[in-house]
Amino acid sequence: MNALELISNQSKKENVPEINIGDTVKVHVKIKEGDKSRIQIFEGTVIAKKHGGISETFTVRRVAHGCGIERVFPLHSPVVEKVDIVRSGKVRRAKLYYLRDRVGKAAKVKELIK
């Protein structure tokens, strides 16, 4: 057990922002195509966070061309280059799975005014 804690302490990123449920984020992801690599940006709303510590993941949802797309990102993965928070959301739930059934303006999350 001590070895697992040692590995998790070494591999944690220091520049990981505090991501909350309902936030609109831009996730910069490294895409490897053959011998080349590039960075692709996936922007959407955080609808879930799971686990914790080194194995923490977050789910980002967006609607593109009328089709809902969800991607699950490991927070401490080397594939995730950086995460930018575009705006903070005001929600009262830990999981926003109900947004899957909503269409149009009903699928929006109110902005948290600080």
Q: Are 26 and 83 in contact (CB under 8 A)?
A: yes
Q: Is the dihedral of CA 103, 57, 89, 40 positive or negative?
A: negative
pLDDT tens digit sequence for 88-109: 999 999 999 999 999 999 999 9
Q: What pLDDT was estimated at residue 52?
A: 84
Assess whether pLDDT exceeds 60 at residue 22. yes
Model-level pTM?
0.87
Q: Which amino acid is at 32?
A: K
Domain ranges of the chain: 2-104
Q: Which amino acid is at 87?
A: R
Assess whether pLDDT exceeds 80 at residue 6. no
Q: What pLDDT was estimated at residue 13?
A: 59
Question: Would you place residue 49 in the very low, low, confident or very high pLDDT band (cuts 50, 70, 90)?
Answer: very high
User: How far is the CA of 103 from the CAs of 15, 26, 66, in angstroms?
Assistant: 35, 22, 9
Average pLDDT of every residue of the chain:
90
Question: In the chain, pLDDT over 70 holds for what percent of residues?
Answer: 88
Q: State the number of CA atoms in the 13 A half-sphere of 39 facing the CB.
A: 10
Q: What pLDDT was estimated at residue 26?
A: 98
Give the architecture (CATH level 2) of 2-104: Roll (2.30)
